[in-house]
Amino acid sequence: MNQKITLIIPVYNSSQFLHKTVKAVDDQRIKSNWDLELILVEDGSPDKSFDAIEKLTPLYPYIKAIKLSRNFGHQIAVKTGLSYATGDYIAIIDDDLQDPPSLLPRFFEQLDNGYEVAYGIRKKRKEGHLKKMAYTGFYRLLDTISETKIPLDSGDFCVMTKNVKDKMLMLNEQNPYLRGIRAWVGFKQIGLEYERSGRIEGESGYSIKKLIKIAKDGIFSFSSLPLQIITLLGNMGLLISILFALFTMYRYFSNEIEVAGYTTIIIMLLFFNSILLISLGIIGEYIYRIYNEVRNRPHTIIEKTINA
C-alpha cells in the first residue's frame, strides 16, 4: 500500500490501557507496512490520559497528540482529529480496542477497489441486553424518520478517502452527528459486517446523558419529523375539540347539561396544556440549535499539541 494512512483515536479515561491500544496499532502497522500517522485526541479526561500519551510519543514518533481544554464529547473529538489528518486514507477507531486495528486491512481493500468509504456494521455487540435493545431501536427509528439514508447498526468505525474527509469538514455544524454526515456527503460507500469485541479494560465513557445527546443530534439534524409531530398533535387536539363541542351542544339541546363538569374541564385542560408544552419543547430544541449555530463559537479549544 503506497497511500499514507491516518488513524484517528479519540481518547477518554484510557490512561491504564492506552499503551495496549497503541501497541496493537503498531503491530498492524508493521504487518501491513503502513506509512502511518496516528492522531490521538485527548478529550478532557479526568484521569491522566494525556500523560500516558506523552510517555508513548517518544516510543512511536508517528503519533500526533491533541489535548482539548475540556470534555467536548466524542463527536467533536473525532472531528478535531479529522481536521488534523493528512493521510490519503483515514480511519476512525475507539481507544478500547472494540474495533481492533487488525480489521482495517479488509476495509482499506475496499478503498483500493474504488470505494470512497467503508464503514463497519456491527453484527454482534458485547453490551447488556437493555443497551443493545436501545441501540437497535434507535437506529431503526432514525432509519424510518431520517431524510438521509443512514446505514443500520453502523457506528463511527470506518475508513474513508481524503476526498470524503475534506467534504465532511465543509459541514461546519456545532453538534455534528458524524455517521449521518458521512452518509449525507454521499460518494461510493460500502458496509462490512464484523463482530464487535468487548472493551479491553475500564468502562465506557458514554453515559446515558451522552448517548441521549448523540441520539438527539441524529434525530434533530437529519429529520423534520419532530416538527411534523407538532402539526399532528395540533390536528388531533382540534379533532377532539370539535367532537367535544358537538357532544356539548347535543347535551345542551337535549337539556342534559348539569352544573357538574369539573372533571371534564380539568381533563381537557391537562390534555391541551400537555400538547402545548410538548410542542414548545420541540420548537425550543430547534431554536437552541439555531442559536448554537448563529453564535458561531469554535467547536473546541485545543490546550496543547505534540507533533501537530
Looking at residue 204, its pLDDT comes to 53
Give the pLDDT of residue 82: 92
Is the separation of the CB atoms in 6 and 307 below 8 Å? no
- Helical H segments across the chain, by residue range: 18-32, 49-56, 74-84, 104-112, 129-145, 162-169, 178-184, 208-222, 225-253, 262-295
Mean pLDDT is highest, among 54-58, 69-73, 170-174, 193-197, for: 54-58
The CATH fold assigned to 4-223+298-306 is Spore Coat Polysaccharide Biosynthesis Protein SpsA; Chain A (3.90.550)
Distance CA 156, CA 120 (A): 8
pLDDT by residue (tens digit) across 2-21? 789 899 999 988 888 888 88
pLDDT over 60 at 201, yes or no? no
Contact 138, 216 (CB under 8 A): no
pLDDT tens figures, 226-260: 666 776 776 776 677 677 767 766 766 676 555 55
- Cα–Cα dist 140/208, whole Å: 19
In this structure, of 36-50, 57-71, 149-163, the range with the lowest mean pLDDT score is 149-163
Torsion of CA 44, 48, 50, 55, to 10 degrees: -170
| pLDDT above 90: residue 299 | no
Residue 74 has pLDDT above 60, yes or no: yes
Q: Between vectors from CA 193 to CA 202 and to CA 29, what angle results, nearest 5°?
A: 65
Alpha-carbon span 68 to 84, nearest angstrom: 13
| Domain extents in the chain | 4-223+298-306, 225-295
CA distances from 180 to 189, 218, 225, 233, 281 (A): 13, 7, 16, 28, 24
End-to-end CA distance of the chain: 24
Confidence band of 37 (pLDDT split at 50, 70, 90): very high
The confidence score (pLDDT) of residue 208 equals 63
Instruction: Tell which wins on pLDDT, 88 or 124.
Output: 88
Locate 300 and state its grid cell: 473546541
Question: Are 94 and 10 contacting, i.e. CB atoms less than 8 angstroms apart?
Answer: yes
Q: How many residues comprise the chain?
A: 308
Measure CA 190 to chain center. 19
CA atoms of 198 and 300, how far apart (whole Å):
30
Q: Across the strands, what pairs with 91?
A: 7, 159
